[in-house]
Amino acid sequence: MIVRRIALNGWRNYDFETIEFSPGINVIRGQNAQGKTNLLEAVYMLAVGRSFRSRFDRELVGFGFSSAEVLADVEAHGREQTVRIVLSPGRRKQITVNSVKKTASELAGTITAVLFCPEDLAIVREGAAVRRRLMDNAIGQLRPGYAAALTEYNRLLEQKAAILRDYRDKPSLLYTLDDFSERLCRLSARLIRYRASFVERLDGCAAPIHREFSGGADSLKLEYRTVSTVENPFASERDIYYAVCEHQEAHRKAELESGQCLTGAHRDDMEIEINGKSARTFASQGQKRTAALSIKLGEREIHLQETDEYPVLLLDDVLSELDARRQEFVLNRIGGGQTLITCCEDGGITARTGGRVITIEAGKAAR
C-alpha cells in the first residue's frame, strides 16, 4: 500500500500544501516544531480515521481555519483511490473514498498503516490498557468483524458499569444486570478468540525480528492473558463462553459489593517477556524500545501475510534513541514497503537508505 501524494489544507500547521512521497523510504527531515509529526499524523488519519495523539478532531484544525482537509491519492492492490477526510468542528467527520461516503471503520480496507512513535514505549512500560489498545487497533484493521464486536462490547460494558454504580439508589436496575452480564460473556468469547490468535501470530512474527534486532542476545515472548477460567483461548467460541460465564457467576457477588465489572475481556493483557522475565519490570530503556519496535514490525509482517502488501510504516523519531547497531538494523529492516521516517538530523540516513528526503519547514515542504 502506497500513499502517492497528500494535500493538507488547514491541517495543524499546514495551511495549503501538497507533498509527493516515494513508494519506498521517505526521510522527513526538519528542525523541532516544523510539522514532521503532523504529517505522519495526517497519513495515519487516512488509514484509521482518527489521530494517534489527539482525542478531539477540533485540535487538528489549523489555528484560524474553520475546517481541516486531508486529501490523498493512494494505491492498494494496484488500484488507485482518492481518500478525502474533512473535519469541521461541531459537525460529523466526512470521509470519502473515490467520492463514496465511508465510515472510519470502513477505511481499514483502503489503506493500512503501522505507526511507531516515542510514546509506544508505553506498550512495554505501562499497564494493560495500552496493550489492549494495541491488540484492538491491529485486529480492528485486519478484521472488520472485530471492530464491530468491540464497539458493542464497550457499549454494554458502560451500561453494566452504570447499573453496578447506581443500583443502590435504584434497585430496579438489578433486573437487567444478569442479562447484560450474559451478553458481555458472549462477546468476550468472541474477542478472546480473535485476540488469542492475533497474539500467537504476533509472537511468531516479532520474536525473530527481536532476536536479530538485539544481535541474538535477547529473546522475546508474547503471551495472551485473559479471564482465568478460560484454559484454552483457542477453543470454540461456545466453550470459551461457558468458561467466561463460570467466572462471571463466581464473581457476581464481588461485582455487586465493589460496584465494578470484574469479569470479561476488558481486563485482558498481553504479557511481554524478555529472556523469560517480565519486560515491564526488568528490561532496560533500550531493551523496552527494542521490544516495542519489534512488536510493531511484527504487526507489519502480519499485514503482509494477510493482504500480500506491506502497510505504510510510519516511524516518528525512532532512531535518535537507538545505538548505532540497532539504528542500522531498523534501516535495513524497513525496505519492502513504503516508509515515512522522521528525524531532526539526517545523520547519513538518506545516504544509507537511498530514500527520498522531504525537508519540512514551518508547515511547508522545501522544494
- If the CB atoms of residues 36 and 300 are measured against ligand ATP, the closer one turns out to be 36
By CB neighbour count within 10 A (0-12 exposed, 13-18 middle, 19+ buried), where does 92 fall?
A: exposed
Q: Which does 32 bind (CB under 5 to 8 A by kind): ligand ATP, Mg ion, none?
A: ligand ATP
DSSP 164-213: HHHTTT-GGGGGGHHHHHHHHHHHHHHHHHHHHHHHHHHHHHHHHHHHHH
Using rule CB under 6 A, residue 357 touches ligand ATP = no
With vertex at residue 23, the alpha carbon angle to CA 60 and CA 103, rounded to the nearest 5 degrees, is: 40
Q: Which does 13 bind (CB under 5 to 8 A by kind): ligand ATP, Mg ion, none?
A: ligand ATP
- If the CB atoms of residues 23 and 347 are measured against Mg ion, the closer one turns out to be 347
Residues 27-46 that bind Mg ion (CB under 5 A): 36-37
Query: For the chain, percent helix, then strand, then coil, each to nearest 5?
Result: 50, 20, 30
Residues 54-113 that bind ligand ATP (CB under 6 A): 59, 61-63
Q: Residue 230: CB partners within 8 Å, gap ≥ 6?
A: 192, 240, 243, 244, 247
State the minimum distance, in angstroms, from the CB of residue 361 to Mg ion: 14
Using rule CB under 6 A, residue 12 touches ligand ATP = yes
Using rule CB under 6 A, residue 38 touches ligand ATP = yes
CA atoms of 153 and 101, how far apart (whole Å):
26
DSSP state of 261: -
- If the CB atoms of residues 209 and 293 are measured against ligand ATP, the closer one turns out to be 293
Task: Show the cell assigned to 277.
Answer: 522475565
Question: Contact letters (x/-) for ligand ATP, 285-324, by CB under 6 A?
Answer: ----------------------------------------
Residues that bind ligand ATP (CB under 6 A): 12-13, 30, 32-38, 59, 61-63, 344
Kindly list the residues in this chain that would bind Mg ion in the complex (CB under 5 A).
36-37
